[in-house]
Structure 1
Amino acid sequence: MASIARINSNSERYFAALAVAELRALHSFFDQHIVEDRELGYFALDEGDYNALPAHLAACVVHTVHGAMLDEF
């Protein structure tokens, strides 16, 4: 599920998307990506929604927060 921050400045959008990605990563096996879009700004994207990211999205990833849940137990 993609989450879009509705904030004015680009840096505020980035940090809002980062906060969402870090929070979601705590409860996910999947990586959370921060994606930059010209129209939407920055948004958090759960890798589990897409399996492998399509090339057009992968090219726009600016930061990744790794999923924190472990499947080793």
Structure 2
Amino acid sequence: MQINTLSIAPVVTDTAAYLATYNLAEQRARVSDFDVHVIRNGDGSYWYVDEGDYACELGEFEDRIVHTLCGRMSGLY
């Protein structure tokens, strides 16, 4: 049985990129009043945006949001 490692490698790379971005987004969500979204680009890369960022227009990329983390600062602290 032969395993084609070329078909497996992109999945591992994509997952690693997602998890790295997710971890950064999670850190940001801990100190934000707003939701933080992880967005996937067409080239397979990921980035995150805080809804409270200046001039954040969700309509531009709402179809590419792969995960949303709720902001955890409620103003009670």
TM-score, length-scaled by structure 2: 0.72
Task: Give the aligned partner of residue 55 of structure 1.
Answer: 59
For structure 2, the residue ranges without an aligned partner over 5 or more in a row are 1-11
Question: In the superposition, relative to structure 1, how do residues 66 and 51 fare at CA in structure 2: closer, same or farther (>3 Å)?
Answer: farther
Q: Which runs of 5+ in 1 are unaligned?
A: 1-7
Partner of 1:4: none
Secondary structure of 1:9 counterpart = helix
What percent of counterpart residues are identical?
32
Deviates more, 1:18-27 or 1:53-62: 53-62
Measure the CA separation in 1 of the matches of 2:38 and 2:55: 16
RMSD: 2.1
CA distance in 1, matches of 2:33, 2:68: 13
Partner of 1:33: 37
How many positions carry a matched residue from both structures?
A: 66
**Bigger relative contact order, structure 1 or 2, given CA contacts below 8 A and separation 6+?**
1
Is the helix fraction higher in 1 or 2? 2
